[in-house]
Amino acid sequence: MQAGALVNGQVALLLRACEHALPQTYARVNVQRLWSLFEEELFPARVPERQFNPYAERHAELDCPNAPALRRANLRSYLDAYAGKPPPLLLVAEAPGPWGCRFSGVPLTSEAQLASAPFPLDGRPTSSTPNGPYREQSATIFWRVMRPDFPQFFVWNSVPLHPHEANEPLSIRNPTRAEVRAWGSFLGKMRALLSPERTVAVGRKAERALGEIGAACTYVRHPSQGGARKFEDGMRAILGEMGL
């Protein structure tokens, strides 16, 4: 009986170890698959007029010499934060802003945040501005609300290229429907790899992008242009429902 109890105890310990290890292994594999997806479809993507690929392009006056490589490294550091466990929540925003992801390479994150301690992500600024790294109001609001729950969520843009007006590289414009649809397949593949329990659209444009690929989602207000309180209230409700 004692030997049998010992064996049963060892089996139970092994099962608990497997339950802990399997999500980690799954997460590590999917991080690499996500990175491969980025390497195959995002980094070499053809860039239409009035868009900018932060991971492949450099503006001679706005970016430091090795900016694209630094932004790819920042993105890889972001992905590596999920190597321990897959995030149960996916947040989809619209597109990189001119003072956020355009320079940081990380959605809804500014290069100033990456360069500040303490911040849950490591990274380096990529701008050549003499006034220090760029800051973005939406990124500041987003991380103020979401930081306590990191890395239980993964945030991405439905259009990963920065849309801007002609000859105005630091402007912002709404992506066209064609531009959103051009990245629908990529968004669907990424969502399939993450396999989240729940998907949240941050803003109406993100909601439409997810609808284009048939992905069920919950809408929350984007934090920009006076939406901070509604964004926070919406996310607090969702996180509470999920027990996070």
Domain ranges of the chain: 2-242
| Neighbouring C-alpha atoms within 13 Å toward the C-beta of 101 | 25
Q: What is the pLDDT of residue 27?
A: 61
User: For position 152, what pLDDT does the model report?
Assistant: 96
pLDDT at 132: 79
Low-confidence ranges of the chain (pLDDT < 50): 1, 3-8, 11-12, 14-22
**Please, what is the end-to-end C-alpha distance for the chain in angstroms?**
42
Strands 153-157 vs 218-220: parallel, antiparallel or unpaired: unpaired
Superfamily of domain covering 2-242: Uracil-DNA glycosylase-like domain (3.40.470.10)
Q: pLDDT per residue over 164-209, tens digit each? A: 999 999 999 999 999 999 999 999 999 999 999 999 999 999 999 9
d(CA 28, CA 41): 20
Q: What pLDDT sits at residue 6?
A: 44
pLDDT at 117: 83
pLDDT of 17: 45
> Is-contact 56 68, C-beta < 8 A?
yes
